[in-house]
């Protein structure tokens, strides 16, 4: 007898104000399996930690659609349909269930932080692929009547729109900006049209957008994007903060950001840099008020990702400081133990925060729909060193524990060592998060009442033969000896726009009598990669060199197709620029008659500099009072900033960030010209 399932379409309920209210949340069996494996690994050396891990193994976490291949499923896990089916199976009776899904593949994704760069370029072609191969495919799945009975909460494009507020001085963000706006609007149009889908747009965190100037710009961007959609403000159900960050939910000993210590505003301390929002409760409350004032409905809800912002452990303060020194007072009172609020990557000392819950009490002003774990604990924020990969993810020095970052006040990043690329399981981080959790996790192995997909066959498609074809030998081609047919030969192999070191390849998907499971990519006669999607970008190539590639398709029974027709393409020739060529990006953060100035100096030449001096003239009589990352000298309106001993070497293409505090008299016009070692910069 062949076991199977009968699928019955369930009518979609009316769109509710808070989808989390009265509902359970989906438990991802793959994340649970990682937790159980981690507990087994530490059981012998730390049985208490192992029991704490088992206590949270059934905590709901989000499913990330971080590239086109994730929709069907790839080496990182099963596809979206698998999770939708599992959510249907986990639903108990008439109790609603929420499946948290992250929409995360914009063209030019994460234009400012390299660790999470994506697969699609910030071009018209990249946007078209985002629409047709990514958003349309996801929307078609979510709109299936089989899934009308579950509530789908979509976190829309982390870090995208916030970058348009603060990082448009970066060329990559300038290029990405129109595609971010168009892509997010398109995603909202497609998702809002599905009644049981709820959209939550990413709103960064308090340590990013909390400043008055930043929050006003962010709200304006949110308004403009909402108004560009078909449904306007109604296309956005709410906003989510703190995804992939570790800013505390609240600072219990710094409850009033307007207070002063010894006559000095607390927010003027070095750690908060005049930011009124010390934590996520402050930020969501402020953001909500600004959004509603700008036209968003009062029903707009907030989510806070509490997956790694607990900051417990021995280093957690237990009382407010008694110091009368401003910075000492703040540093001894704050529970956020990072060296700087900009230290975002795998921060040492972080812990799990509040467990997911709907309508958490005590935060009325924040209008919270729920605490959620959008970034699954244990998944890396970015690699500690450069790791080649086929996901488009780069190496960000903010993830390097040996890096002294100018953005962090010339301090080490505080990132954990040994981290894999973003999204991969990071054992060291997970162990730390559990050990430092706040609230503390019980060590008796007590599991919350959420269904456990590792033990309950009614909720785990990996153990339920009625929902998992791999347990049914009549449908599993790894067990079916009759499958001897090879997939069709991949057709239409084409090379796209090349760079000096990479060549993108695409081809038409093959077909198979059962299923195509992937493709092998060959350079000449040597296999160089495998991929589950009909595209791959070959990297690490030599400039101005011709390469020949072909592709073979394969299935689960190890049948391999013949090679595709070969394609030959050349990388671009390396270009050189005159020695001394430079670029300067200048910005300020103003308050009253004071301001902080920031300058990013980039050596755009082909020759490294062993020393440098930046010179410029203030047009409105501004006066520098303090500087960092350079030796500042001001004579009248003329300023020179010479390198420090540790940052004098500036490689070709490399950048250095410097900054200063200064005063103005009501006019803070930016300098019109900058020179580096006497050469005028662009």
User: Which residues are known to be catalytic?
Assistant: 159, 381
- Quickly count: other Cβ atoms within 10 Å of residue 580's Cβ: 18
Closest CA to 485 of 554, 559, 552: 559
**Separation between Cα atoms, residue 357 and residue 369, nearest integer Å:** 9
H or E element, residue 531: strand 526-531
Q: Which residue has the tokens 């509530």?
A: 151
**Alpha-carbon distances, residue 167 vs 183, 587, 654 (angstroms):** 18, 10, 18
Kindly give the pairing relationship between strand 623-628 and strand 655-663: antiparallel
End-to-end CA distance of the chain: 74
**Separation between Cα atoms, residue 87 and residue 29, nearest integer Å:** 11
| Residues 319, 253 contacting (CB under 8 angstroms) | yes
Cα 552–Cα 558–Cα 563 angle in degrees, nearest 5: 15
**Separation between Cα atoms, residue 336 and residue 250, nearest integer Å:** 10
H or E element, residue 551: strand 546-555
| Residues 436, 350 contacting (CB under 8 angstroms) | yes
| Residues 186, 128 contacting (CB under 8 angstroms) | no
| Residues 87, 102 contacting (CB under 8 angstroms) | no
- Quickly count: other Cβ atoms within 10 Å of residue 182's Cβ: 18
**Separation between Cα atoms, residue 62 and residue 28, nearest integer Å:** 8
């Amino acid at each position: 007898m062949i076991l199977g399932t009968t699928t019955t379409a369930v009518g979609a309920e009316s769109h509710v104000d808070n989808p989390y209210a009265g509902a359970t949340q989906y438990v991802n069996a793959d994340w649970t399996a990682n937790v159980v494996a981690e507990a087994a690994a530490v059981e012998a050396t730390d049985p208490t930690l192992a029991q704490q891990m088992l206590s949270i193994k059934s905590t709901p976490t989000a499913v990330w659609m971080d590239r086109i291949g994730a929709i069907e499923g790839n080496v990182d896990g099963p596809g979206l349909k698998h999770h939708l089916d599992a959510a249907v199976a986990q639903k108990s009776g008439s109790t609603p269930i929420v499946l948290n899904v992250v929409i995360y593949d914009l063209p030019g994704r994460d234009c400012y932080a390299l660790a999470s760069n994506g697969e699609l370029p910030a071009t018209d072609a990249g946007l078209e692929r985002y629409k047709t191969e990514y958003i349309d495919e996801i929307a078609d799945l979510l709109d299936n009547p089989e899934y009308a009975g579950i509530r789908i909460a979509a976190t829309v494009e982390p870090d995208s729109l916030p970058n348009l507020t603060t990082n448009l001085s970066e060329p990559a963000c300038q290029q990405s900006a129109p595609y971010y706006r168009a892509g997010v609007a398109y995603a909202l149009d497609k998702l809002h049209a599905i009644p049981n889908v709820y959209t939550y747009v990413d709103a960064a965190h308090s340590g990013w957008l909390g400043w008055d100037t930043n929050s006003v710009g962010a709200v304006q961007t949110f308004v403009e994007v909402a108004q560009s959609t078909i449904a306007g403000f109604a296309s956005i159900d709410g906003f989510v903060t703190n995804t992939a960050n570790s800013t505390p939910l609240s600072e219990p000993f710094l409850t009033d950001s307007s207070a002063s210590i010894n006559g000095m505003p607390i927010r003027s301390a070095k750690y908060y840099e005049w930011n009124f929002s010390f934590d996520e409760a402050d930020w969501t409350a402020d953001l909500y008020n600004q959004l509603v004032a700008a036209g968003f409905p009062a029903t707009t809800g907030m989510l806070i990702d509490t997956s790694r912002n607990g900051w417990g452990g021995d280093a957690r303060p237990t009382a407010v400081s008694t110091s009368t020194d401003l910075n000492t007072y703040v540093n001894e009172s704050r529970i956020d133990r990072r060296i700087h609020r900009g230290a975002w990557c795998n921060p040492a000392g972080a812990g799990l925060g509040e467990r997911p819950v709907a309508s958490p009490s005590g935060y009325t002003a924040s209008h919270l729909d729920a605490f959620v774990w959008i970034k699954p604990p244990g998944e890396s924020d970015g690699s500690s060193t450069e790791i080649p990969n086929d996901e488009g993810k780069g190496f960000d020095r903010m993830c390097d524990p040996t890096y002294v970052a100018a953005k962090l006040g010339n301090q080490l990043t505080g990132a954990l060592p040994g981290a894999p690329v973003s999204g991969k399981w990071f054992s060291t981080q997970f162990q730390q998060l559990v050990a430092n959790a706040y609230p503390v996790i019980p060590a008796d192995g007590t599991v919350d009442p959420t269904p456990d997909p590792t033990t309950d066959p009614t909720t785990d498609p990996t153990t339920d033969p009625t929902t998992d074809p791999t347990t049914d030998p009549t449908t599993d081609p790894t067990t079916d000896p009759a499958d001897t047919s090879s997939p069709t030969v991949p057709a239409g192999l084409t090379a796209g726009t090349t760079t000096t070191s990479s060549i993108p390849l695409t081809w038409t998907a093959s077909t198979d009598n059962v299923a195509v499971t992937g493709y092998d990519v060959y350079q000449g006669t040597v296999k160089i990669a495998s991929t589950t999607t009909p595209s791959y970008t070959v990297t690490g190539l030599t400039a101005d060199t011709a390469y020949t590639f072909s592709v073979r398709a394969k299935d689960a029974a190890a049948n391999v197709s013949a090679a595709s027709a070969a394609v030959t393409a050349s990388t671009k020739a390396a270009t050189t620029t005159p020695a001394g060529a430079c670029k300067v990006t200048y910005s300020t953060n103003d308050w009253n008659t004071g301001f902080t100035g920031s300058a990013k100096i980039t050596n755009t030449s082909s020759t490294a500099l062993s020393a440098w001096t930046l010179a410029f003239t203030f047009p409105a009589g501004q006066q520098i009072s303090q500087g960092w990352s350079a030796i500042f000298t001001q004579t009248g309106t003329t300023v020179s900033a010479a390198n420090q001993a540790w940052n004098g070497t500036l490689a070709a293409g490399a950048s250095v960030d410097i900054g200063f505090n200064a005063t103005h008299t009501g006019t803070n016009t930016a300098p019109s010209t900058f020179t580096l070692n006497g050469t005028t910069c662009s």
